A and B are shown apart, each in its own frame.
Chain A
């Protein structure tokens, strides 16, 4: 669905999304790398569980939330990819330990 306007010369990095390996270029955000690889379902909303993906790509809409290296609710459009990152869908509201 999405294509790079121009091939980049920057070094390749690889990370995983839901256990699948994804190839990206250094400097890509997690959101752009995922969308370039055909992924658009980033999260399920806390209330209706509906499927969502990036909308604004500039940090204001919070539609692109994913879990990165175990930390939930990260904005994929604001975070550059790093080698070996483990990215998962944000599945609804997070749990909290109150004890």
Chain B
């Protein structure tokens, strides 16, 4: 039995690509490790976020925007096909500024981004406090204003992941859990992939194993310099719906919980929730929205982002092993639409067409010297 493509990793990145390939009629196998793996897709904040993406790399700014542009249809397709609602809302998103300096910094960023996209195309604006009060309830006295973009939104990352897997199964794709990939070897014009659950043949291989790509890459002549960056999230009890849009640090889910987040730590492969950071997250959330202090927290967790040295995605095809690709990014929710609809067809054609060359790992060498 031979597959058109074997996708290694069943997180948001692997599942989005596998779904895209299935829709093109490919015969796809997804090989996934298990709950022992680090799985950002099961522990993230759920923003589809564009406004701050790509400062310093216009291609990434436009790629993120492209994904936000296709998300409404992508989500609607998943709903119609699987009956699973990703809870996507393109309500716009606000990045609150809690001091004059933060406002200045954010204004400068928004201005730089305007220059990258052209103002009409970009669409993000700075919003002063008075107007912001008409958009979000219960703002604290420290909130000076916000940057806001109409292209931003949020979704449930868990329903998204479930919908993608359901779609893969419905389109004839196969999924194997507890199938950690340990070897990849050339076999005829394709590849033989060895796992703990047996070995499989495929014409093409996509490495989408998140942090696992770092050790898989060298098996096929690819360097994948990704490292873990820890983020912690707090969840409150459910309340009546108060928010009509997400913010970068606080969002309300469709079920009514508030998620508080956006911490960044270099802590290696450590998944413990730590009180110091939890207190910082809660403090910033309460400065933004003082009413949150009366709510009970019911859950918290930590997860590891899949970071590259410059924070931008890494997409590449092996030169020594043609037909083997690696795909990594640190915004797998945001980019799910683009991965399924635009990147997957390129992989099906066997070529990463423009503008994908910007995302090659080679750029990192250029910057390192």
Instruction: List chain A positions with a Cβ less than 8 A from chain B.
Output: 46-47, 62, 72-73, 93-99
Check if A46 sits within 8 Å of B291, measured CB to CB: no
A residues in contact with B256, CB < 8 Å: 46-47, 93
Task: Name the one of A46, A73, A95, A98 contacting B296, with C-beta atoms under 8 angstroms.
Answer: A73
Task: Name the one of B138, B240, B298 contacting A95, with C-beta atoms under 8 angstroms.
Answer: B240
Contact with A along B282-302 (1 / 0, CB 8 A): 000000010100111010000
Check if A94 sits within 8 Å of B291, measured CB to CB: no
B residues in contact with A98, CB < 8 Å: 137-138, 242, 289, 291
Name A's interface SS. loop
B residues in contact with A73, CB < 8 Å: 237-238, 296, 298
A residues in contact with B138, CB < 8 Å: 98-99
Question: B255 interface residue, CB < 8 Å from A?
Answer: yes
Among residues of A, the one whose C-beta sits closest to the C-beta of B137 is A98
Check if B255 sits within 8 Å of A46, measured CB to CB: yes
Q: Knowing A46-B256, A47-B255 are in contact, say whether A96-B298 is a contact too (CB < 8 A).
A: no
A residues in contact with B241, CB < 8 Å: 93
Question: B215 interface residue, CB < 8 Å from A?
Answer: no
Among residues of A, the one whose C-beta sits closest to the C-beta of B296 is A73
A residues in contact with B237, CB < 8 Å: 72-73, 94
Check if A96 sits within 8 Å of B295, measured CB to CB: yes
B residues in contact with A95, CB < 8 Å: 239-240
A residues in contact with B298, CB < 8 Å: 62, 73
Min distance, Cβ A75 to any Cβ of chain B, angstroms: 9
B residues in contact with A62, CB < 8 Å: 298
Contact with A along B255-298 (1 / 0, CB 8 A): 11000000000000000000000000000000001010011101
Measured in the bound complex, the distance between the Cα atoms of B241 and A93 in whole Å is 9
Measured in the bound complex, the distance between the Cα atoms of B83 and A43 in whole Å is 27
Min distance, Cβ A10 to any Cβ of chain B, angstroms: 29
- Among A46, A47, A94, A96, max chain B CB count under 10 A is at A96
Task: Name the one of B238, B289, B294 contacting A46, with C-beta atoms under 8 angstroms.
Answer: B238
